[in-house]
Structure 1
Amino acid sequence: MTTQTHYWNRLIKPGIVALVGAGGKTTVLSKLVEYGRLAGQSVMVTTTTHLYESQVAQWNPFYGTDINKADEACTAAVLKGQCAAWFTGVDGTKVQALDSKQIDDMSKLHHKWQIIVEADGAKEKWLKAPKTTEPVIPELTQTTIGVVNLQMLGSSLDEEHVHNIELVKDIMGRQEGAIVTPSMLAHVVLDKKGLFQYSKGRKILFCTGYDTVQHRVIDDFIDHVVDSDITAIYLADGYKASCEIRRIIQCR
């Protein structure tokens, strides 16, 4: 077993896993599908927000609201060793969300599946804080993976990099243009209105961009978040197709 397989397999288990945050959620979703299938885990993908149709087309999704028809289509895919995917429809370039109950009901039917839910939108930015209406996380979620891009460390607090910047500024207590420090980023991770707002189950902090920032700066950030209710911290190079886990820090 390769190191990458071993690392990713620690995130692969039956139940609902919700992805929140910014700077690599869809990449983490794709990696969980890839390594889940290699491990023989039955996998279904969906969203409570939006995904581009082009991002999910490879999984031949079922579109519709009828759970019986969705169950039939998704089960057929799983029995063929494929990733199942279910969305309510397509609007322009994006697939449309399921509601939490639909996802919970599918999980009740197939408690041995891993159902991966993109539960938060960030408009491809590196960092975000959620509005009061987000993220939308199913009740039966067993793991919430919060994603942050470490490239924010040393970067400017601006709209180019940050989604919902006014909310992030409030949490950090800084003005636009400030350089993001480890303690400022930690505030977004730990604040009750921050990264893990409305999270359920165990909390996993997944940090992308590990190869782009001096490790002493990253270690400073970790020191600020390690003594919390986060279960584990994953540190990964890149944040797109090249994403590879380099370190795992077990916190609890």
Structure 2
Amino acid sequence: MTDSLVDALEAETGVTCVVGAGGKKSTLYALAARLERAIVTATVRIPPFEEQVADLAITERPLEVARSNETWPLGLVPAREGDDRYRGYGRETVDALADLEGVPILVKADGARTRWFKAPAEKEPQLPSTANTVVPIASTRVVGERLEDEHVHRPERVAAVTELEMGDRISPADVATVLASEAGGCKDVPDGATVVPLLNMADTPELAETAREIAAAIHDRRDVPRVVVTSLLEENPVVDVV
């Protein structure tokens, strides 16, 4: 078992994109804090994150800013949208950032409105073609909850990917089905990118065991190199690698 989130998610180089629900932003910020140099950005809306980076630049010329930057990690966004979020860049802009040598790019590539679980809408995710690693995320805590808006973003999409109906209890197998599906966590993954699912909020031994059950079911459904189990509030967030 590795104790390094960076190693487990293969985020030391290239472009790492997070999708899903239940820990996307926390994963980005945890990775950024562990890398010598990194850029945190998004292809979708993202809440303010000035406190999670050394500097945040609002710019339509992110490549120029990144090339002259000396303080890391660096946050890059194109514009503010209201008081509570920034806009994301187009995918081709993130593709251009991927040309930076020795600077990992960390990308929020869809939204979930703080829910624990989701399946993507028609125009999601917004993955750049240069993505090296795609990390579909779900919260382990969603197991046992009902398929409804309180904990699930776009529950009707989850129902379409699984055999669930609205109001049904969510099982480990349901979480695995969504994360492993090309209509779910593996939607639109670029050719050549590695998929590494992540199960967050495994904050107790019981939740960690639930996460391992989900991980085993993911391996039954899709060929992935590993499933990472995390408790992102901890100093060492990697609970297990399955």
TM-score by structure 1 length?
Answer: 0.85
Percent identity, aligned pairs only? 20
Distance 2:53 2:35 in 1: 16
Task: Call closer, same or farther: CA 1:47–1:224 in 2, change over 3 Å.
Answer: same
Q: 2:240 aligned with 1:247, yes or no?
A: yes
**Equivalent of residue 147 in structure 1, options 132, 137, 140:** 137
Structure with the higher fraction of residues in helix conformation = 1
Residue 216 of structure 1, CA deviation: 4.7
**Equivalent of residue 98 in structure 2, options 86, 96, 107:** 107
What's the secondary structure of 1:52's corresponding residue? coil
Corresponding residue of 1:76: 68
Corresponding residue of 1:36: 35
**Equivalent of residue 159 in structure 1, options 124, 149, 164:** 149
The worse-fitting range, judged by mean Cα deviation, of 87-96 and 216-225 is 216-225
Corresponding residue of 1:210: 202
Residue 85 of structure 1, CA deviation: 2.0
Corresponding residue of 1:13: 12
Distance 1:241 1:248 in 2: 16
What's the secondary structure of 1:145's corresponding residue? strand
Count, aligned residues? 235
Distance 1:142 1:187 in 2: 23
Distance 2:128 2:87 in 1: 16
What's the secondary structure of 1:90's corresponding residue? coil
Structure with the higher fraction of residues in strand conformation = 1
Residue 112 of structure 1, CA deviation: 2.3
**Equivalent of residue 221 in structure 1, options 202, 214, 217:** 214
Matching residue's letter, 2:42? T
Task: Call closer, same or farther: CA 1:106–1:195 in 2, change over 3 Å.
Answer: same
| Unmatched runs of 5 consecutive residues or more in structure 2 | none
Residue 60 of structure 1, CA deviation: 2.6
**Equivalent of residue 187 in structure 1, options 168, 172, 177:** 177
What's the secondary structure of 2:35's corresponding residue? helix
The worse-fitting range, judged by mean Cα deviation, of 86-95 and 121-130 is 86-95
Distance 1:48 1:193 in 2: 19
Matching residue's letter, 1:208? N
What's the secondary structure of 2:227's corresponding residue? strand
Distance 2:208 2:88 in 1: 38
**Equivalent of residue 40 in structure 2, options 45, 68, 71:** 45
What's the secondary structure of 2:92's corresponding residue? helix
Task: Call closer, same or farther: CA 1:210–1:96 in 2, change over 3 Å.
Answer: same
Task: Call closer, same or farther: CA 1:134–1:17 in 2, change over 3 Å.
Answer: same
Q: CA RMSD in A?
A: 2.1
Distance 1:58 1:112 in 2: 18
Task: Call closer, same or farther: CA 1:216–1:104 in 2, change over 3 Å.
Answer: closer
After superposition, the C-alpha distances for 1:91-146 in whole angstroms (9 at most, x for unaligned) are 112111100111111212x1321000000100000000001100000001100011
Task: Call closer, same or farther: CA 1:89–1:21 in 2, change over 3 Å.
Answer: same
| Unmatched runs of 5 consecutive residues or more in structure 1 | none
**Equivalent of residue 62 in structure 1, options 57, 82, 103:** 57
TM-score by structure 2 length?
Answer: 0.89
Distance 1:190 1:175 in 2: 19
Flag as ranges the 4+ runs of structure 1 deviating above 6 A: none
Corresponding residue of 2:109: 119
Residue 243 of structure 1, CA deviation: 7.2
Matching residue's letter, 1:74? A
Q: 2:229 aligned with 1:235, yes or no?
A: yes
Distance 2:200 2:139 in 1: 5
